Amino acid sequence: MRLDPASFYSMTLQEFLLAAEGFHQLEEVRQQQDWERTRWLATLMLSPHARKGKSIKPRDLAIFPWEKKPKKKNKAHANVMRQMIKAHSDG
């Protein structure tokens, strides 16, 4: 989605940061879907070459970082964003 200049310049810092974070999340999901599609295609292509009675599963080929157990989130990023918003709204 494109943002016209008038809308961009009328945004507050908080609105801009939320929009940027939303765009980042959308792009991350798109890339994850592309990688998962590629892994699925590789699985289909390799399946005829598997030993008899053995099937290849997508996770046998690769496990992506977003499929692993989540670690504790780094709260530093969120704190920096809160401080920027607070400093902007106080000034």
Instruction: Collect the ranges in the chain with pLDDT lower than 70.
Output: 1, 71-74, 90-91
Could you tell me the CA-to-CA distances from 6 to 2, 3, 24, 44, 66 in Å, in that order?
12, 8, 22, 48, 36
Residue 91 pLDDT: 55
The closest alpha carbon to 80, from 23, 13, 33, belongs to: 13
For the chain, the structural domain boundaries read 13-90
Residue 74 pLDDT: 66
